[in-house]
Structure 1
Amino acid sequence: MAKIRKVIALIMVAVMAVVMFAGCGGESGQAGAGDSTKAAVGTAAVSSNQQMDVPKEKVKLSFFLSQTGWGGEAVDPELMAEVEKVIEDRTNTDLEVIAPPQSSYNDKLNVVLASGDIPDIFAVRKAMDNIHVMASRGYTMPLDDLIKQAPEITSLVDQTYLDYLKADGKLQGVPMYVPLSKFIWMRKDVMDANGVKLSETPTTDEFYNEMKKLVGKGVIPFTFAKFLDNLPFFFNPFGAYYGIGEKDGKYIDGFNTPEAKEALAYVAKLYKEKIWDQEFLTNENTTIRENLFSGKAASTLDYYNRYIYFITEAENVKAATEFVPIYELKGPKGQGGNLYEAIQDALCISSKSKNPDRALDVLKYYVYSEEGVKLRCLGVEGKHYTLENNVITPTEKAKNSGYKCDVNQFYLYYPKITDFGFKWSETIEKLIPQQVKFNDETNRHLGPKYSIPSNKSDLYNKNLSGYKKKIDEISSKIIMGSCSVDEGYKEYEAFWKSINGDGMLAELNK
């Protein structure tokens, strides 16, 4: 795979216009088979009674994953190499890890794939939208036969979520994380100071009326990131769908419905009356999170596993408070649901891999075993962290390289770890039960999510990227008031006609 490194080097000195994916609005950073008595992963050299069963023959494999995918997100090359050593030891492989920065991951993956030298294992972001592109271009290997030999995966992952990752009826990857969802987190101190009274499932009218109390009070009532694929949280209460959806067993243009227009009019009202963040189109995820935990904003939309993060970060900046959830808004007809993303990132095996079974072994260990998930989230004891009085403490080297010693990361993975074999800080230990409660409750409020099969319509495959871009464009114009709902949809209908949208739906519904 030396060719890959040459390609990566070329990327550093030239901008290559290879754009396959839309940007990811989320991030991609839960729990298992393994020795539960083992506190965490140690060095690569392990005693025989701890050694996992591995094949005798060592093989070479390449693994393409962003910098933040290795040991608590520490990006120091030496620390990443320590994680690599452990995986190699547990799976008897010789790994070539290619780890571009998170911000440029998609572009660099696209270039590498186009070069024809496909890594044995690689991650695909926004997989429910992009997995069919990978399959149609011949990059991925169907895993249907291999997965039958992997009870470590099938015993944890519901078949529904594997079905989301099919193209042409064949499984093209496995989920990197559990299904993800978002809801609104609110600062209790701001609510109390301004008499805001909201339940965990308020109506859209209640949300508007109560949040109006915060306008002009020196705080952003609701801060929102620029990623408009988060709008479904506000579409769901109106029975609308942000994209191609389903109704009565048929695929429909969910964006062009009376319900979607009603939803956009509602969000536009929130924006016009300054409940909605006026700077939302430039906000990164880091911005909205800092706005919330610092007290600049009263609320935001974020992942269900953020409770401990917000509590601890607020304390760090001397803005401590309790954070309360709004799981969903209820619309005029009682409809609702949170922002359900289902499968965001997937791990695929190259169609050209000479050892796909061994590549799957690496995934079974690193993503679907308790020990592997600990390695992914924590790194290597003595390198990334130490245990002082049985309390986990990051090393200076790890702290200086972006390390996150974060229990919240474990809630993103399938094997559920309840016994870490060590203690988190006293503060975190007290917060864990409440976070687990939020984790469990969010699954009772899931919004709709539809998977469109890639083999049904050539027009859909061709138009998907442009379609998503257009509905974001129209939505932003309507929300910011640069056009009315009617004007926005007049422009949208012309676009729909230009891509033969009706023909696309006809193909999907054959």
Structure 2
Amino acid sequence: MKTKKFLTVLVVSAMSAALFAGCGKPENEEGSPDNKDSGKPVTINIVQPNVGRKFLDGMDENNNPYQKYINENTNLNVHVVYPPSDGYQDKLNVILSSGEDNDMIYTQDASWFINMINQKALQPLDKAIEQFGPDLKKSLPQEAWDAVTINGEIYAIPSVTHINGNDIMYVRQDWLAKLGLQPPKTLDEYVKVIRAFVEQDPDGNGQHDTIGLLIGENLARTAPFFGAFGVPLIGNSAVNQWVERDGVLINSSILPETKEALAFLAELYKNKLIDPEWALNKNKNIEEKIASGKAGLFSATWFDTRGPILTNQTNDANAKWTALEYPAGKDGQSGIASSSMVTGYSIVPAKSKHVNEVVKMFNFANGKGHEPIKFGLPEHQISSRESGKLVMNFEEHNKHVYRNNILDYSAPWDKEVDMERLDALGPEYKLRDNVTAMSNALIKNQYTGPTTQSMGKNGVQLTKLMQETFTKMIMGNTPIDEFDNYVTQWKSMGGEEITKEVNEAFKSAN
């Protein structure tokens, strides 16, 4: 039985290859590089973001039944390093520059991944996978392996998903009813609802303290509003979304329609209809504002119905949330940017001595250990089958959600089982409905080829340029008319080179 990861992870920015300089380690005295069965377990250090995992009393990321299960079945001592999820990259840079040993590092940043290969900071994994990763190799589709194969060599273990979007609009239905409003469909109707949530005291506390539209830093949770202008835009990357215009691919962040979308958001902010703290809102802040009942409309992740939305409904018996249609623009356009099948990269620094052990860990988690980890060890009674249908014990599942520590970063590909698991987690949370709605609203990315060398070289600085410029434009600190200057700067900072590479690949593929 195969499945996939179900938690999202945060984006990692660029780092210098020089940071790996102190990451080498001498031959481990406890075992050889191939971790022969004789001898003591070999310790490997893996660096990951903690995506909200909670452990039972007396447990942590390195002391729990599932980590013990992996260690005992692989003759390894897997030591997990959790930099805080907020500011993950900053903490990661500190860890690497400190000279600590690291054998595996997880990132979602494709540009960084390619840049590290260009700087020879990573080691290829082909030999290790061939010898120690047969279950791992066959558990993932070839398309995923192709995405991490550069110059004929595999440089990462990919994490994959068939859920190719991450935005679904949700609204407080009880607030709509109280104010006599209908669920919005068009941009104009959305603005009407957002304004009412700000000005008409929907929570009834006699204060003007409710948020109209809740979004986050670096354009988080804004994809549906760019989609209303026909723009597929993901705030954490300025180089991953492309549209076709007259046979030529153009990056979505420099489209004229993107300027229109920014003007729309800037007008909302000017009129105090967007959370005034939006540019500082990390994911944790967004979840807290939803859970506390301060916001009534936002672009949710597909699993927020089991997260902050559920917490809000638990705290407030009157709170009722419902999914909305994506906002439609003046030409009836709507939708969200589509994401890649590959969502992240587990890489091995060039100086690590334990590439074989890293592959062994993933091979077990994607093979023999997969079902016991994903569906729970027998003693925890997390899942069972009744008349062939998967049933989850929610209390036990929630207690042991930490068990997916490894599978969050590489798990087998099986859409059918994934959907079955979503249903088993509770049809009342509408997880399958959310995923289906997103899948039906994707604005197709016209470039599906591999990350190019210029993306690796310039992608990080272009993303930073986009995030900073667009944030200033929405907040009114930079005039919208400066958009043309942004486009010129984007091209001169590597965007033109990336565009050339993308179009060459696009033409050769067609």
- For normalisation by structure 1, the TM-score amounts to 0.70
The CA deviation at 1:223 is 0.7
Distance 1:166 1:175 in 2: 10
Matching of residues 303-452 of structure 1 within 5 Å = 303-326=301-324, 328-342=326-340, 343-354=342-353, 356-366=355-365, 368=366, 371-372=369-370, 375=373, 393=395, 414=413, 416=417, 429=426, 431=428, 434-449=430-445, 450=447
SS in 1 for 2:63: helix
In structure 2, what residue type is equivalent to 1:188? Q
Whether 1:212 aligns to 2:195 is: yes
In structure 2, what residue type is equivalent to 1:106? Q
Distance 1:489 1:79 in 2: 45
Equivalent residue, structure 2, for 1:137: 119
The CA deviation at 1:130 is 2.3
Q: Deviations over 1:229-285 (max 9, x none)?
A: 544332223222443343446443432221111111222233233332222112221
Q: 2:500 aligns with which of 484, 490, 506?
A: 506
Contact residue 71 and residue 379 of structure 1 kept, 8 A: no
Contact residue 375 and residue 383 of structure 2 kept, 8 A: no
Q: 2:486 aligns with which of 483, 489, 492?
A: 492
SS in 2 for 1:462: helix
The CA deviation at 1:129 is 3.2
Residues 315/378 of structure 1: CA separation in 2 closer, same or farther (3 Å cut)? farther
Q: Deviations over 1:348-392 (max 9, x none)?
A: 2344455544422311333x358547647979967x9999xx956
Equivalent residue, structure 1, for 2:181: 196
In structure 2, what residue type is equivalent to 1:299? L
Equivalent residue, structure 1, for 2:4: none
Compare 128-137 and 144-153 and name the one that shifted more: 144-153
Q: 2:266 aligns with which of 265, 268, 271?
A: 268
Distance 1:261 1:456 in 2: 28
Matching of residues 115-264 of structure 1 within 5 Å = 119-124=102-107, 126-143=108-125, 152-153=135-136, 157-168=140-151, 170-176=153-159, 178=161, 179=163, 181-198=166-183, 202-218=185-201, 219-228=210-219, 230-242=221-233, 243-244=238-239, 245-248=241-244, 250-264=248-262
Q: Deviations over 1:432-472 (max 9, x none)?
A: 5x323323333222234456744443xx4433222212211
Over aligned residue pairs, what C-alpha RMSD do you find? Answer: 4.3
Runs (5+) with no aligned partner, structure 1: 1-17, 22-53
Q: 2:78 aligns with which of 78, 95, 99?
A: 95
Distance 2:249 2:130 in 1: 31
Contact residue 91 and residue 362 of structure 1 kept, 8 A: yes
Residues 209/419 of structure 1: CA separation in 2 closer, same or farther (3 Å cut)? closer
SS in 2 for 1:470: helix
Residues 19/339 of structure 1: CA separation in 2 closer, same or farther (3 Å cut)? closer
Identity across the alignment (%): 22
Q: Deviations over 1:157-215 (max 9, x none)?
A: 4444444444456443233352451222222111222233236xx33333234433333
The CA deviation at 1:298 is 0.7
Contact residue 72 and residue 376 of structure 1 kept, 8 A: no
Distance 1:216 1:406 in 2: 44
Equivalent residue, structure 1, for 2:19: none
In structure 2, what residue type is equivalent to 1:122? I
Distance 1:209 1:155 in 2: 51
Distance 1:74 1:133 in 2: 39
SS in 1 for 2:226: helix
In structure 1, what residue type is equivalent to 2:293? G
SS in 1 for 2:176: helix
Distance 2:272 2:284 in 1: 21
Distance 1:441 1:151 in 2: 35
Equivalent residue, structure 1, for 2:278: 280
Equivalent residue, structure 1, for 2:10: none
Contact residue 143 and residue 173 of structure 1 kept, 8 A: yes
Distance 2:262 2:310 in 1: 35
Residues 169/203 of structure 1: CA separation in 2 closer, same or farther (3 Å cut)? farther
The CA deviation at 1:493 is 4.3
SS in 1 for 2:300: strand
Equivalent residue, structure 2, for 1:20: 15
Contact residue 226 and residue 281 of structure 1 kept, 8 A: yes
Whether 1:481 aligns to 2:476 is: yes
In structure 2, what residue type is equivalent to 1:489? F
SS in 2 for 1:64: strand
Contact residue 295 and residue 319 of structure 1 kept, 8 A: no
Equivalent residue, structure 2, for 1:40: none
Contact residue 46 and residue 81 of structure 2 kept, 8 A: yes
Distance 1:160 1:207 in 2: 39
Distance 2:271 2:53 in 1: 44
Aligned residues: 439
Contact residue 340 and residue 448 of structure 1 kept, 8 A: yes
Contact residue 478 and residue 484 of structure 1 kept, 8 A: yes
Contact residue 221 and residue 298 of structure 2 kept, 8 A: no
- For normalisation by structure 2, the TM-score amounts to 0.70
Equivalent residue, structure 2, for 1:13: none
Equivalent residue, structure 1, for 2:206: none
